[in-house]
Structure 1
């Protein structure tokens, strides 16, 4: 079931604002959500032992879907910088594993204090992740392979914030025109 009011998709500007104003524990949650496209409950369950080679292995709690998500080079840099003390990748400021509701509450507090705009939560980062994949030219099947969505309709719902202009520019640039004769046409 979808919420009656759609949750807003984060933007690059809001991510930059959050990365400049939130504590390191929340910054980690934002980065992991952005690069994996997972739900908050699955983010909180991710362990260092789930990383093997260049992949994070996830079994989604809601659907039971098993995913093998490639680690983006930028995410690899963050993972290398973070302390690997403890079992879980995401820990709060006390070093304890995040609980899904605690991430939500912490982001709500950040919103109330003006550190991020009102209404933006961790789920909006899942939508941003799907949107970034779509803007990069990924198919709905490729996006679902990352997010674990069972239906392509849900992928389309998550990617409503896609920039039409960017997609159109990328599409035009991919047209093969090698079949055209390069001679000038006469008026």
Structure 2
């Protein structure tokens, strides 16, 4: 005696392609899935919940494949008739080009990552539209959603990326010259509301960090004494020190800066040499800022991530008892501003130290290891 079909109503089988049958010998119910294209049955075993999940997943994937095929057919028709490609198709090409630029060193990894979220939002909201049929109102609607949520900086980034998306589309000849609906939208205003802090407030936060891991105070000292950005501070290694200078290749600008170890922050009465000496402890590590106590994935002697530095700073800042009446509390980055103010009062060339884009190149160079480094004069 063969297998017999089970009663669909009893099992409430309402998923396309999914069915069940009863083994006449064992009286056990088994599940199967019929492929809508090939017509073949695929056995799914006797677990009803698992069979339903597999059938739903299969239908979802088949639907996605069908949608891609439709997009492909539509793209071919559009190309033959001289019509605009879809937003989705162009975004695929755009991100491929950005990936090539990243590999060639034309853009930084952070810049590449910054483009990903706006591109996916644009794909989700306007993916099926023709690239040239998107108007300023469509993009303004996307930007407005971020403004409503109070994410004005993200709104700025979305607009900036979509402006670039259409600039590249112009270069590729996918839209008419000058066609850029993102550029026609109003640029969101993002007023920085973080408060700066004084040297006295800095000292209170620094003292609060006394019982934290050593890297917390050391990172604060490096921030003020070197004036460098968070990412550059996190990447500092003892091997970057030679010829009595700390060599920093700034991630954001690419500038190669040699900072004398004799650089002194008069307000803190400490030199860079003394800060580095604080960082040389009993733990063997190539990293100037390193983990002292293993916690989770962070191993003793390992590098300290930028996230750990900012999180630790925020924690000790909040535990310091200080209150800021206006705006949001100062972040780790605000120490860069504090450094600039302190060194400007000392007569140090802060444009050179901070690595701002429009600074004038100096005449003094130090040819080390085959590279030119801008040497900070003090």
Q: Given the alignment of the two structures, is residue 9 of structure 1 paired with residue 204 of structure 2, yes or no?
A: no
Q: Which of 248, 252, 255 lines up with 1:62 in the alignment? A: 252
Counterpart of 2:341 in structure 1 is 131
Q: Given the alignment of the two structures, is residue 147 of structure 1 paired with residue 358 of structure 2, yes or no?
A: no
Name the structure with the higher strand share: 2
Q: Which of 105, 108, 125 lines up with 2:314 in the alignment? A: 108
* Structure 1: runs of 5+ lacking an equivalent: 153-187
> Counterparts of 2:224 and 2:192 in 1: how far apart (Å)?
22
- Equivalent residues of 1:10, 1:128 under 8 A apart: yes
> Counterparts of 2:259 and 2:323 in 1: how far apart (Å)?
29
> Counterparts of 2:243 and 2:286 in 1: how far apart (Å)?
17
- Equivalent residues of 2:223, 2:335 under 8 A apart: yes
Instruction: Kindly state the Cα deviation for residue 115 of structure 1 after the two structures are TM-superposed.
Output: 5.6
Q: Report which of the two structures shows the higher radius of gyration computed on alpha carbons.
A: 2
> Counterparts of 1:54 and 1:69 in 2: how far apart (Å)?
9
SS of equivalent residue, structure 2 residue 313: helix
Instruction: Kindly state the Cα deviation for residue 7 of structure 1 after the two structures are TM-superposed.
Output: 3.6
> Counterparts of 2:318 and 2:279 in 1: how far apart (Å)?
28
**What value does the CA root-mean-square deviation take over the aligned residues?**
2.3
Q: Given the alignment of the two structures, is residue 21 of structure 1 paired with residue 208 of structure 2, yes or no?
A: yes
TM-score by length of 1: 0.70
Q: Which of 288, 296, 319 lines up with 1:89 in the alignment? A: 288
> Counterparts of 2:222 and 2:253 in 1: how far apart (Å)?
19
**Displaced runs of 4 or more, over 6 A:** none
- Equivalent residues of 1:46, 1:88 under 8 A apart: yes
* Cα distance change, pair 76–110 in 1 and its aligned pair in 2 (3 A): same
> Counterparts of 1:114 and 1:18 in 2: how far apart (Å)?
6
Instruction: Kindly state the Cα deviation for residue 112 of structure 1 after the two structures are TM-superposed.
Output: 3.0
TM-score by length of 2: 0.36
Instruction: Kindly state the Cα deviation for residue 120 of structure 1 after the two structures are TM-superposed.
Output: 2.2
SS of equivalent residue, structure 2 residue 203: helix
Tell me which of the two structures has the higher relative contact order, counting C-alpha pairs closer than 8 angstroms and 6 or more residues apart: 1
* Cα distance change, pair 7–70 in 1 and its aligned pair in 2 (3 A): farther
Instruction: Kindly state the Cα deviation for residue 6 of structure 1 after the two structures are TM-superposed.
Output: 4.7
> Counterparts of 2:232 and 2:203 in 1: how far apart (Å)?
23
- Equivalent residues of 2:231, 2:251 under 8 A apart: yes
* Cα distance change, pair 3–96 in 1 and its aligned pair in 2 (3 A): farther
Q: Which of 255, 274, 279 lines up with 1:77 in the alignment? A: 274
SS of equivalent residue, structure 1 residue 122: coil
> Counterparts of 1:121 and 1:147 in 2: how far apart (Å)?
17
